[in-house]
Amino acid sequence: MATNLPDPTPDNPVAKDKAERENRSGVFARLVLFIRQVIDELRKVVTPTRSELVNYTLVVLVFVLIMMGIIVAFDLIFGWAISWVFGDGSSLF
């Protein structure tokens, strides 16, 4: 006959927090662990080559120019519409 043994870790969140607090390292140990993790993540960073960097820059500049054109077009259209509704409607600029 199998017996059901109680779970050694209680489901009580307060008891879990107390147990975690007792197992924590000191402040300096956690700081050193954090710095080690940051260094490990920085080692994973891949710097782009010069040609990749130029391509990325050109893509960003083209995107910004397209967005500027769209915003200018909307500004002109809405300005003309506002002028037409509230003014004489003759001036586009």
Gyration radius from the chain CA atoms: 31
Give the pLDDT of the chain (93 residues) as one tens digit per residue: 556 665 555 577 777 766 666 666 788 888 888 999 999 999 999 999 999 999 999 999 999 999 999 999 999 999 888 888 888 766 665
pTM of model > 0.85: no
- In which residue are the tokens 């397209």 written? 66
pLDDT computed for residue 30 by the predictor: 81
Contacts of residue 25, defined as CB under 8 A and 6 or more positions apart, other chains included, come to: 33
Q: Where are the chain's structural domains? A: 48-93
Contacts of residue 93, defined as CB under 8 A and 6 or more positions apart, other chains included, come to: 76, 79
